[in-house]
Amino acid sequence: MKNINIKLIGLVFLTVLALGSCKKWINTDLNINPDQPADVPMSSILTGVQANMAYNTIGGNDLCRVTSIWMQYFQGVARQSQATTNYTLLESDVNNLWVTNYTNTMMNLEIISAKAVSAANPTYKGIADVLMANTLGVTTDVWGDIPYSAAFQGVANLTPAFDSQQSIYTAILGLLDDAITQLGMADAPTITGDVMYGGDPALWLQAAHTLKARYILHLSKLDATSWANALAALAGGISSNDNDLQFSFFDAAGAQNPLYQFMQQRGDITMAKVFIDTLNLVRHDPRLPMFATATAENTYIGNGWGEVSADVSMPGDAVAAASSVVPFVTYVESLFIKAECLYKTNASVVQVRTALLDAVTASMQKWGADYTAWMTVYTQYINFSSGAPLFKEIMTQKWIALYNQSEAFADWRRTDNVIGLQANPLQSAQRNVIPRHFPQAQSEVNYNPNTPVLSDGLWSTVWWDTMPTK
Amino acid sequence: MRKFTLVLALLLLVGLQGVFAQTRVISGTVTSSDDKQPIPGVTVVVPGTTIGTNTGSDGKYVLAVPTKYTSLTFSYVGMKTKQVALGTATTLDVVMDNDVMNMDEVVVTAIGIARETKALSYSVQEVGSDDIMKSARTDAVNSLQGKVSDVQVINSAGVAGGATYVQIRGVQSITQNNQPLYVIDGVPISGSESGGVYGVDGVATSNRNIDINPDDIESMNVLKGGAATALYGLRAASGAIVITTKKGKATPGKKISVNFNTYVQFDKVSMLPKMQTEYSQGHDGKWYSGDRLAWGAKNDTMSLSKDPSVWNTWKNFDTDGSLVSNNSAVSKTGPAQTYDPYKFFQTGVTTNNSLSLMGGTDVSTFYFSFSDNQSKGVVPNNKFRRNTFKLTGDTKLGQKVKLSGSANYMITGGDRIQQGSNTSGLMLGLLRTPSTFDNSAGYLLPDMENGTMQRSYRHGRGYDNPYFTANENKYSDQVNRLIGNVQIDYFTTKWLSITYRLGIDWWGRKWNDYMNIYSSSYYPDGYNREGQEMSKDMNSDFMINIDKDFAKDFNLKVLLGQNMTQQYYKGLNATANGLVIPEYYNLNNGTTVSAATTTSEVRRAALYGDVQLSWKNMLYLNITGRNDWTTTLAQGKNSFFYPSVGLGWIFTELPGLKDNKVLPYGKLRMSYAIVAKDASPYNTMTYYNTPAVLDGWTTGLVFPWSGNNAFAISNNLGNNQLKPEKTTTWEVGADLKFWQNRFGFSYTFFHNKGQDLILSVPIAATTGYSTTTLNAASMTTYGHEVTLDIVPIKSKSWYWDIIVNWSCIKNNVDALAAGINQLFLGGFEGSEIDAFVGQPYRTIYGYDWVRDAQGNLRIGDDGYPVMSNNMTALGNVDPKWTAGIGTNLRWKDLSLYLLFDIKYGGKMWNGTRGAIDYFGTSAGTLNRDEWYVFPGVNSQGQTNTIPVKRDYFWMTQNVGSGFTGPMVDYVENSGWVRLRTLSLSYSFTSLLKKTFIKGLSVYFTGTNLWISTKYQGIDPETNLLGASNAQGIDYFNMPGTKSYTVGLNLSF
């Protein structure tokens, strides 16, 4: 009997031992992936966001290639690019851009912003605000109403509501005001991980001012005070070409400019006849060798409507070299904003002409064009210009200067095609109108029932835009 | 680990006390009631102890039995087990009865518990060592084909050392693994869960069940339903294959028994796509050197010419001359020639040798084996080799403790060939080559510009010459693996025993994958990739067994257990891209080198119990319960309990029916169970990773960025609300045995309802993420399984039996996730295998033609059908029903075994045919010059009458082929009737009775010797994606084989 008792005690002891070890054995901390960090410093997120914005959100092929085709810098000659030229752009064509803007760009900016607040770091907060305002701006300008206030909540809200573009603009300007406050603080430190401005809050402050002017100006169709307000906002803006907010690429594997990679790996586009002929035949513009390549016969030719020739000019080193920069917002743009605002606020014609010539000169300098002789002739020409033709010249020069930047598409809609682009004549009567809107993204349509249906597809207008009567 | 050692030591100490108890010696003779002859080799044991012995060749035994024990158990295969009470006498003679009904047949169920088949409330099916040996398959799992109902075994690769996909009773999970758990001697091993799943390109690798030496296997038992696997818990949610290996035996009068099995096997390619030899390389009816298509001139209008005016430029490619028109004025060397692409394949040879030694005494036994399997595939340079060593032993430490253990060391590996959708893929280059180009005339050329270039039909670009692929691109791997276990049994009292078992499965794998710089896929860079990975799988079970008769007629068996497992995986791989020095394959030879690690660790713990209460050997009530804890789910969600209950009723034990001659055995059974499966690791949190900055057009950016390392939040949102997915399952069935077991019938109906199934789903990007893991899906599966067992002839010299296994499964995806109607499982965009709500799992999804309401093709004004813009469901991959019909015919020592395997229905996408119709190499394009009226209706609804040609323009510039047009015409019935196994064997055993040789048999086995199928291509038992959930894709897969095996089995 005693023997059995000992055994029973032994048995109970063993069982308790086995059970006791269970707690430590089932340690759910083991379910943390050792190959992926659960937290990272703000600096490393910032580098990735800036690269993604340059490669996709601001300077990406899925944005700029489309707007540049519609703005007739480029002509699509194959695949989806050819369809874009024919004003076909599908929900699946814009899906990558939409997804990357929300996930790889804005979600990461939200994280930097939250981290900056808890770390009480005004520079990171200000930079995140500037970049978020810029991303919201380019996103809403092609998609109109977009989610923001209900977005970025993960599983807590799998179907975010769409905010009106009006409230998105309120948010953009709010973010920029906050950025100006944060970056203007005396103790705003120089930070790391910033591959655009080297972490200098003073430069980011300039960019914040210029962006604020840009987004105020976008509302000019709705609000006649926009020009005066934008002019005021320019104070403290980007002060020289050297201070442009832009991203530099390199001529190394995995570091090249997105348009360069597209031309290398896909092709599918050439220069368009409209842009080439404007610069080459009409204006003899010295920026042309930077903007486009010469053909084998050493001439500059763009494909006209319906033409798909490969022996024409291709995008040049200003935008499509391996190391071409992607500008986010520039001194040149601020000078054009100034010229337009002076004109619209009834400044003297001399002031307006000077502002325009300053802008064109800055653009020439930015691309290193040999412009002295040309500028002499051009100055004489401008000195005879005034009124509506002068305004048209400002916007035309801005169209040229903002080559392959999606901002040109905003200007074109905002000024109701003051520069006079003709729509693709090969399209049927209903379709030979230049589009003004991106289609909704495929995945958002599939997984978010709040996604609005666009009444007129690509010919819908965003809130600040209206469709001109034909 | 120290804890386990402690447990072992304690158990040992407690157990040794028994040695000094008082004993008495019992002896006697065991004879058969049939012929009154003594039976050698009967196992005689004291129940509940390790005390036991075997009868000698004269049927006699002697055994010392401690006085406190009062009975002995006598057991022998084919005899009814007998328990005899000990009186005062020291002599005990026993007469044993034949067991024609196999009433006392024992099978190994969950956790290595042996249970009588009759006591089970669910169906089990077993395949024995003889069947495994005769099927002569390198991967033993293949010998289940056709022998077990509702088990689908797909040898997916058709290459030496390829993976095998196994599915038991359909699928349970949507995006999680659906492969069964492999258990060897009670210890789960890392099996199909690891490896053997490949992408649409690359090479076919092995999954880890191939490491087991089939000759070491005593039996493979398939546990299908929830009630059978509930005790195994999470890992067996998709069923379990329980492998029992051979153990040593004490053979009277013999110290060591030796068994030697050897075979040599020859493999031939069995089915191949039909190709055309009437039209040359080129397009639009004209021959062009280097053209990608075979839409050229008619060969009989063309001649070969080596005239410098036409031949100089490409003479290194068109080695026999350029093609010129018969009417051409240039000098000619003869008529146009064609070259048989299938000359490329060789006869594969496999040699298999295995040697085992076993023996033992009353106290200890051992089993040792060594095996060597070497295969050369039908594709040159495709090789596979496996060596195994196994040592199993047990010893009794006194009367109450038994210690046993096993160590199995394996080395497997091979050289594998690029396949599938891969411009270096073997079949891709082979089948796209026009018949007028000779791939075999060399694959490397001197080139003025680059030094060397590849010789292929597209002038060194496009696709690799198959000879180049087989010789210059290489993937080789080697696995070193150790599976070991130790077990200690302590028999405390007659009715209570304690068992502790610890198993380890450790393997390491190294691999090297390179592409020559002249390979068209990576021209002009090539690459070299190397990796090492290790996996550790630890399993510990502590069990208390109770087996007690009480009251009258009642028996209670109780098992209580505690289980702990750990699965750890670590992989490190590196890639060197842009090789600088040709044919030097090292990581230091790249212009860019990158490396990455992969880790996975899961721990689980469980408490479980199994109660079997029986009454009068007639009613059996089985109840199990198990609670699992897992680390892959968040605290609070990671503990879950699931029960099973089953009832078996042997109604032929009823007084009126007992011992009747017509139906001596009949059982009705039913069971209900819930099984659960946890998530894969690392899904509960959101992580950061290196930003993926690219668009749909370009390769994008690489980080670190000018010295700045970068991270971005993952696009996959972690979900800490995940809970286990759950399948509720019930089954009912009957087992009937008629007329002395001459006719057996078994039927099972099962029903599985999966809920909260875990799946990875896309979500709106405005959430900040693009995918997450949810408990969202539900799926219903049910099916019927019928087994017939007929013995028409059974006499002294003749024996004939027929065994039929038939099963059908119906499956429906009830829901995926909110807003999601379809989920991509695998394949190509536009030619997909999807889970689709309201359809069976694995629906082929792709484009169709435009049709009218009646399903007629809508024919356009040009006479051609029109491709639809929308994708639709085009068929179900899984068969309507499957059957295996096996028959054994024996005459004296000669026996013949035939196994027919029938798969009725089931679709497969024949992407190969779709593509070669485009390239013009397929026999399907021979009608290119014929007028044809597409059956269909025009826009007015009238029958189409416009004759058109399915010519170069329609097939390549328009939507005529599967490459350019809808996939619907390339979704084919993949059903078959095949002679899976034909085996003829002769045993010399009775001739050699007086010699030292115990057994000698020779056998011939043919596998897949005959196939009847409507499938137009390679053997439809194939899958591009290997052992993955996305079955049903054939896109330049390697062809299957038929094999001829000659073997010899010798034991002495």
% of chain B exceeding 90 in pLDDT: 59
Contacts of B717 in chain A (CB under 8 A): 154-155
Q: Is the pLDDT of residue B306 over 50?
A: yes
Lowest pLDDT segment from A100-109, B59-68, B429-438, B772-781: B59-68
| pLDDT reported for residue A252 | 83
For residue A153, what is the nearest residue in chain B, using CA coordinates? B767
Q: Is the pLDDT of residue B644 over 70?
A: yes
CB contact under 8 A, A36 and B714: yes
> Which pLDDT tens digit goes with each residue over B415-432?
999 888 888 899 999 999
| pLDDT reported for residue B21 | 52
> Which pLDDT tens digit goes with each residue over B363-398?
899 999 999 999 999 999 999 999 999 999 999 988
Question: Contact, A409 vs A142, CB < 8 A?
Answer: yes
CB contact under 8 A, B705 and A51: yes
- Our CA angle for B521, B523, B528, nearest 5°, is 80
Contacts of B705 in chain A (CB under 8 A): 47-48, 51, 195, 255
CB contact under 8 A, A261 and B700: yes
Question: Contact, B407 vs B373, CB < 8 A?
Answer: no
The residue type at B443 = Y
- pLDDT confidence tier of residue B957, bands split at 50, 70 and 90: confident
Lowest pLDDT segment from A90-94, B207-211, B981-985: B207-211
**pLDDT below 50 — which residues of chain A?**
1-2
| pLDDT reported for residue B16 | 43
| pLDDT reported for residue B1 | 43
Q: Choose the mutation target among B400, B546, B767, B821 for the interface with A, i.e. most A CBs under 10 Å.
A: B767
Average pLDDT, integer, range B244-265: 87
Q: Residue A125 CA to chain centroid, in angstroms?
A: 20
Q: Is the pLDDT of residue B230 over 90?
A: no
Residue A163 distance to chain B (closest CA, Å): 12
Lowest pLDDT segment from B144-158, B530-544, B923-937: B144-158
Q: What is the dihedral of CA B499, B500, B501, B502, to 10 degrees?
A: 180
CB contact under 8 A, A151 and B768: yes
Long-range contact list for B652-658, CB < 8 A, 24+ apart? B653/B616, B653/B617, B653/B618, B654/B618
Q: Where are the domains of chain B?
A: 2-99, 134-268+347-424+473-594+602-684+719-842+877-906+974-1051, 283-337+425-472, 685-718
| pLDDT reported for residue B156 | 66
| pLDDT reported for residue A11 | 59
Count of beta carbons in the 10 Å neighbourhood of residue B334? 10
- What is the residue-averaged pLDDT of chain B? 89
Residue A340 sits at the chain B interface (C-beta within 8 Å): no
Q: Tell me which residue in B598, B688, B765 faces A99 most closely, judged by beta carbons.
A: B765
- What does each C-alpha distance from B724 to A31, A32, B621, B972 come to in angstroms? 15, 18, 28, 37
> Which pLDDT tens digit goes with each residue over B24-52?
888 899 998 877 888 887 888 888 787 88
- pLDDT confidence tier of residue B293, bands split at 50, 70 and 90: very high
> Which pLDDT tens digit goes with each residue over B712-754?
999 999 999 999 999 999 999 999 999 888 999 999 999 999 9
- Please count the CA atoms within 13 angstroms of the CA of A157 that sit on its side-chain side: 14
| pLDDT reported for residue A272 | 98
- pLDDT confidence tier of residue B10, bands split at 50, 70 and 90: very low
Helix (H) or strand (E) holding B505: strand B496-515
Residue B687 distance to chain A (closest CA, Å): 5
Helix A42-52 with A108-118: angle, nearest 10 deg? 150
CATH ID of B134-268+347-424+473-594+602-684+719-842+877-906+974-1051, from 1.10.10.10, 3.40.50.720, 3.40.50.10300, 2.40.170.20: 2.40.170.20
Which domains are assigned to chain A? 42-253+419-433+442-459 (1.25.40.390)
All residues at 6 or more sequence positions from A89 whose CB lies less than 8 Å from its CB, including other chains = A66, A83, A435, A438, A439, A458
Closest CA relative to residue B888, chosen from B793, B980, B976? B793
CB contact under 8 A, B715 and A103: yes
Question: Predicted ipTM?
Answer: 0.94
Average pLDDT, integer, range B780-788: 95
Nearest-angstrom CA–CA distance, B258 and B246:
13
CB contact under 8 A, B768 and A107: yes
The 3-class SS string of A173-196 reads HHHHHHHHHHHCCCCCCCCCCCCC
> Which pLDDT tens digit goes with each residue over B699-716?
899 888 988 999 999 999
- Please count the CA atoms within 13 angstroms of the CA of B793 that sit on its side-chain side: 11
Residue B508 distance to chain A (closest CA, Å): 19
For residue B774, what is the nearest residue in chain A, using CA coordinates? A155
Q: Tell me which residue in B681, B712, B764 faces A443 most closely, judged by beta carbons.
A: B764
Contacts of A154 in chain B (CB under 8 A): 686, 717, 767-769, 772
pTM to 2 decimal places: 0.84
CATH code that applies to domain B2-99:
2.60.40.1120
All residues at 6 or more sequence positions from B607 whose CB lies less than 8 Å from its CB, including other chains = A19, B560, B561, B562, B563, B626, B627
Nearest-angstrom CA–CA distance, B658 and B546:
29
Helix (H) or strand (E) holding B367: strand B364-376
Bridge partners, B886 (sequence order): B803, B899
The residue type at B736 = L
CB contact under 8 A, A159 and B764: yes
Residue A189 sits at the chain B interface (C-beta within 8 Å): no
Average pLDDT, integer, range B785-814: 93
